[in-house]
Amino acid sequence: MDFLELVKKRFSLRKYSSKKIDRELIEKCLEAARLAPSACNSQPWYFIVVDDEKLKNDLADIAFSGIYSSNSFAKKAPVLVVVVNEKSNYVARVGGFLRGTQYSLIDIGIAVEHFVLQAQELGIGTCWLGWFNEKGVKRYLGIPKSKKVEAIVSMGYPPEGVVPGEKKRKNLDEIRKYFTGER
């Protein structure tokens, strides 16, 4: 598929059919994430895939309860992928400190977007989820308190009839200029 077409096709899917996702396909998405670039090739990510129905439902109940319940639609997704921020390597951390940047967040953003675009290419919808009960998720999955869970990705096949809405984005003119030497 033409890359820009793929990008245009991807949207945040918030309704899912009950069709299960083959692990082989999940592995393909993870492979796309694995190959993502990262500052100093630090690869500061770890993915916990929850595709067992009961475990996924239990996780969703914890992750999307109370003030996080606006994301409870994600319980209907057959798969939840929890993205953990692993410690960057020393050079990336020192570089990030000197630049006042946390490279690991940039790196994870790229890796997860690789993941979701690969999923889209396979006809699988996804939704990035940044609003969830992190403490509860860590406790449930046995992730050490010291680590940060940056995102959860819900994934599933779109139910029949669900089509992407219009993309609401800034115009190109609002987000770029070609530098002409004038400041």
Ligand X SMILES: Cc1cc2nc3c(=O)[nH]c(=O)nc-3n(C[C@H](O)[C@H](O)[C@H](O)COP(=O)(O)O)c2cc1C
Footprint on this chain of ligand X (rule: CB under 6 A)? 11-12, 71, 127-131, 151, 167
The residue among 98 and 163 lying less far from ligand X, judged by its C-beta, is: 163
- Least separation in angstroms between residue 160's CB and ligand X is 19
Q: How far is the CB of 90 from ligand X (least distance, A)?
A: 26
Nearest distance from residue 131's CB to ligand X, in Å?
4
Q: Which is nearer to ligand X, 141 or 162 (CB)?
A: 162
Nearer to ligand X, 1 or 7 (CB): 7
Q: Is residue 129 classed as helix, strand or coil in its secondary structure?
A: strand
Nearer to ligand X, 42 or 71 (CB): 71
Nearest to 145 by CA among 134, 155, 153, 156: 134
From the number of C-beta atoms within 10 Å of its C-beta (0-12, 13-18, 19+), residue 47 rates as: middle
Give the single-character DSSP code of 42.
-
Q: Which residue is nearest to ligand X (CB)?
A: 130
Nearest distance from C-beta of residue 108 to ligand X, angstroms: 9
Instruction: Please tell me the distance from the alpha carbon of residue 91 to that of residue 127, in angstroms, as a whole number.
Output: 32
Cα dihedral 73→76→78→82 (10° resolution): 30
